[in-house]
Structure 1
Amino acid sequence: LIDWPPIVGELADKLEIERFHILAISGGAPYAYVTASEMPQRVRAIAIVSGAPPIVDLSEHTGLLRLYRWMLALYRSHPQLLRALFYLARPIACLRPPIRFRPLLLKLLLQPVDAAALRDAAAFEACFESQRRAWRASAKGVMTDAEIYAQPWGFRLEDVDVPVRLWHGKEDRAFTFRVAQEVAARLPNCVARYVDNAGHYSLPIRHMHEILADLISL
């Protein structure tokens, strides 16, 4: 994770952008935090939406989705088995589900507030196309990302001094509202916005205009 900021800096140099804002959704959170921590002179502010927390630093893990808790336990006890399961999952995870099956998938996998937001075809594609592409590229890359979330990040949230806008839905099941509160309490320059009747997916889908307007005002 700590190798990410130089890559961002090189990209910004190529684009001739001296200072910039960062928007991070879900698993993008640690990458935004580390860039803000390592490049405070260039990062104006960051917005974290439904953000993944530093799992190893949490006081307890009941605020994580049950699947995440199961994967974390397996990673600690049988990491090779978890890697094998990732490779077995790849052929299915990189498929594009037929449109006629999507309502059933949403009903089975998501809570109502998120399922309702993802019934829109464009929203569904926006959320899941990047995941499919990641799996199509390699299971190794997905596993590497997962290991970053499960390991120490290599810096302290308390050292992120740039302005942070932390947005989190009160109905988020992936990382609960309590987890977001714990993260926000560690950030010295954070304004947290907890949104009623919003879940992990519906928050960025339905509130993106507000999130971006707030971010670029900083």
Structure 2
Amino acid sequence: MTYVIDPVRIGTEQLPGGRRLGWAEWGPVDGVPVLLSPGAATSRHLGFGGDVVDGLGVRLISLDRPGLGASSPLPGRTFGDFVDDIRAFAALRDLGRPLMVGNSQGAPFALACAAAGVVGALAVVSGADEVAEPCFADALPEELRRLVALAVADPAAAEQVFAGFTPQGMWEMVMSGSPECDLAVYRQPAFAAAYRHALDEAFAQGAAGYARDTVLAMGRWGIGLSDIAVPVDLWYGEKDTGHSPDLGVGLTSRIPGAVRHLVPDAGGAVLWTHAEQILSTLLGRDTTP
């Protein structure tokens, strides 16, 4: 199976104020725009569904968050700043109100966009949950609980901790903590090469961008999930061990009308193993005139 292919178009967009936003695209230029908010410490280079986007008529656009890959840094940025970037990017590229996919640590950023109404529908795939919610305190491993507490109490100190991460360290953490069904994807040569490329590219400016992402994702989000008025689907593999302690049950309940899909015999790599199903469902949720 072909899990990933290289981008077919790649570049940067200059945002109001002069910062750059890095992007990569797959699929037809006149396809339905679907933005991708990538997972932790990865860049625009790691897309998904490259073998199905043409048939589905999807123009997949993966975006580097500030300080990662080709995007200019924005120290102290918030989820609201990301929403502003997406709103500006969509206007500059004449995308209207695009659809969106948020993967892993990219999920809360995508949820912020849904809450602000700048996207027409959202798929959260293997989404990082709001682990700072008190209900998860007893469900988290001790080290993760300590890091979450630090992110809430002292975000600057937490950023310093996460700024010590490297591409190799991220690779080893993922490979050592993933179930066999995920490793079968990650070890596939083309996927491993694309993943390593995305990690190296994400850290090209240093680890500050990843560190800020992680502090935001691990802290209290402050996102109005109950205000989301666009369709949201949440996808989790039943063997996913690292993204949500309850596989998205609580997160789904906090989003009006959200639909949770639990995929049998899949793990955190469900974005790549079930790309066609995820994109087809997302297209069916599009309410944009």
**TM-score scaled by length of structure 1:** 0.81
Q: What SS does structure 2 have at the residue aligned with 1:18?
A: coil
Q: 1:51 maps to which residue?
A: 127
Q: Distance in 2 between matches of 1:132 and 1:66?
A: 29
2:209 equivalent among 141, 144, 159: 141
Residue 175 of structure 1 deviates from its aligned partner by 2.1
Higher helix share: 1
57-66 vs 155-164, which deviates more?
57-66
2:271 equivalent among 204, 211, 215: 204
Q: 1:213 maps to which residue?
A: 280
**Equivalent residues of 2:104, 2:125 under 8 A apart:** yes
Residue 176 of structure 1 deviates from its aligned partner by 3.9
Q: 2:75 maps to which residue?
A: none
Pair 57,83 (structure 1): closer, same or farther in 2 beyond 3 Å:
closer
Q: Which has the higher contact order (CA 8 A, sep 6+)?
A: 1
**Equivalent residues of 2:232, 2:257 under 8 A apart:** yes
Residue 132 of structure 1 deviates from its aligned partner by 2.8
Q: Does 1:165 align with 2:239?
A: no
Letter in 1 for 2:128: A
Residue 118 of structure 1 deviates from its aligned partner by 1.5
Q: What SS does structure 1 have at the residue aligned with 2:135?
A: coil
Q: Does 1:35 align with 2:103?
A: no
Residue 79 of structure 1 deviates from its aligned partner by 6.4
Higher strand share: 2
Q: Distance in 2 between matches of 1:206 and 1:58?
A: 32
Q: 1:13 maps to which residue?
A: 91
Letter in 2 for 1:153: W
Residue 119 of structure 1 deviates from its aligned partner by 2.0
**Equivalent residues of 2:238, 2:263 under 8 A apart:** yes
Residue 38 of structure 1 deviates from its aligned partner by 1.0
Residue 193 of structure 1 deviates from its aligned partner by 0.5
Residue 80 of structure 1 deviates from its aligned partner by 6.7
Spell out structure 1 runs of 4+ moving beyond 4 A: 62-67, 73-85
In the TM superposition, what whole-angstrom CA distance separates every residue of 1:84-120 from its partner, at most 9, and x where no partner exists?
54444437448xx8xxxx9xx84x4422111112121
5+ residue gaps, structure 2: 1-78
1:68 equivalent among 133, 140, 144: 144
5+ residue gaps, structure 1: none
**Equivalent residues of 2:159, 2:212 under 8 A apart:** no
**TM-score scaled by length of structure 2:** 0.63
Q: What SS does structure 1 have at the residue aligned with 2:275?
A: helix
Pair 73,153 (structure 1): closer, same or farther in 2 beyond 3 Å:
closer
Pair 122,211 (structure 1): closer, same or farther in 2 beyond 3 Å:
same
Residue 134 of structure 1 deviates from its aligned partner by 2.2
**Equivalent residues of 1:64, 1:175 under 8 A apart:** no
Q: Does 1:24 align with 2:110?
A: no
**Equivalent residues of 2:151, 2:219 under 8 A apart:** no
Pair 117,14 (structure 1): closer, same or farther in 2 beyond 3 Å:
same
1:186 equivalent among 239, 254, 265: 254
In the TM superposition, what whole-angstrom CA distance separates every residue of 1:97-156 from its partner, at most 9, and x where no partner exists?
8xxxx9xx84x4422111112121222234443333222322221111111012222222
2:184 equivalent among 93, 116, 119: 116
Q: What SS does structure 2 have at the residue aligned with 1:55?
A: coil
Q: Once superposed, what is the RMSD of the aligned Cα atoms?
A: 2.7
Pair 163,75 (structure 1): closer, same or farther in 2 beyond 3 Å:
closer
User: How many residue pairs are counted as aligned between the two chains?
Assistant: 206
